[in-house]
Structure 1
């Protein structure tokens, strides 16, 4: 269940980072409130995942999911550059996350 929590937490990290952009420095009420809720839920799920996944692995996967997902969202929907080298770098982040899942050890 820890990996499910971690996956959802990583996706929420991407969403709250987008929320930060639309909160305009926390000057807009509803985007700021939504961002705060997403941060709390994401960190809660991350902490639940850390019950069974080592802290270093969990944090690296959480941030990797958020970073790579947000980079792809930026390319697809926010007119950010998406050249070949950038896509290869995102692919390396994804490969690292997959590697941590496949070769990492969990504790019971």
Structure 2
């Protein structure tokens, strides 16, 4: 992961990170997923845009299938937005930057 502003999630830190009072956008992805690679620069851009107001995070579904299964992630990329540990929004597939920005701003 290129950006240090994007947190890497695992089974052990997932709950702690998404429990933040700040909105947390989690990108469920895999290395072999072409659309996931397409959206990665967008997630990095959003991390810069929302620095301090929202957290951007990634979870590799191949490494942590149990977490993906818990949230019914069946295709990737899937983006889930959490606030204070609660799932508040979800989108599947590549989305335009402006749509994701508005989604985050609604909860920031």
**Is the TM value for this pair above 0.5?**
no
Larger Rg: 1
Considering fraction of residues, name the structure with more helix. 1
Greater RCO, CA 8 A, separation 6+: 2
Q: Which has the higher strand share?
A: 2
TM-score, length-scaled by structure 1: 0.30
Task: Give TM-score, length-normalised by structure 2.
Answer: 0.30
